[in-house]
Structure 1
């Protein structure tokens, strides 16, 4: 019992350090590995990223993945599940990834999760999802972590549907005077 409590304290101390420490590709991933998270080579973990305190061993972040600042990765709700962020996937800032008991949430290889998304279901390979609610908007031909520039990434996006029509004109009462 004491070892279990000591392990939980150890996890929280190293987690608190990892959230504010420098070294997004060096020290932070190392601290999370010490906590039990499975983290591949070349992973980027931004400032203040929360990786499950109770079950860090249920989180896997594969080679080349990028997790932006203030993202929360929660591998349990009423029991542990598993969160896997595959190779070269990108999770934008302020995202929440939540997995239920006995389930696996997978952000597949090359997928991009837009800022502010709440993800409760797996995201297929190369898909770009955005919030309100998260929805597929394009297929990424060039994964964001390996693109040489944002222009290269954007040029490689293939829209999944036609753009939304233009909004209707503003009512007369809202138009500026001529």
Structure 2
């Protein structure tokens, strides 16, 4: 145990301006293994169903009949806070984040403002949603059932069901009839 504590402290002290989110050695090891599966799913040629399996192994909650494209980055620290319901399509080169943490120099020089930017909150993508290419989904967002988020959008707030959203920040541009 002592060597694990020493190793954990050593890693924590070598983070530079980043914050080590894992609170103990065991969670650090789980995170390292999870990052391996994340890289495996993102960059190696494989079927979309294999990508889904890799993300499930990491702890992402994924329903049935889900498509995950190439280079989809899902939060490395808290994958269990991501829920993707049935019949969702996530195109390539997307990012789904459930946590943000300012760098240490910002935390130290602006402690009150730093708290505004530090956030950990779940992301849910509801049944039948389609996330087009190069979309960034920020912490605390729910994408509504049967909604579409167009290419290059940054989703910083909830998207209601049955609509098309686009832009930075993503805004609803069209309501879809059922």
Question: What's the TM-score, normalizing by structure 1?
Answer: 0.73
- Root mean square deviation of aligned Cα: 1.3
Secondary structure at the counterpart of residue 141 of structure 2: strand
Unaligned runs of 5+ in 1: 143-178
More helix by share: 2
Partner of 1:66: 89
Aligned residues: 137
Indicate conservation of the 8 Å contact 1:58/1:80, yes or no: no
Distance 1:129 1:2, change over 3 A: same
Which protein is bigger by CA-based radius of gyration?
1
Deviation (angstroms), 1:133: 4.4
Alpha-carbon distance in 2 for matches of 1:106, 1:2? 32
Write out the 4+ residue segments of structure 1 that deviate beyond 2 Å after TM superposition.
Answer: 132-135
Is 1:80 the counterpart of 2:104 in the alignment?
A: no
Considering Cα pairs closer than 8 Å and 6+ residues apart, tell me whether 1 or 2 has the greater RCO. 2
Alpha-carbon distance in 2 for matches of 1:141, 1:116? 24
Question: What's the TM-score, normalizing by structure 2?
Answer: 0.73
Alpha-carbon distance in 1 for matches of 2:54, 2:98? 18
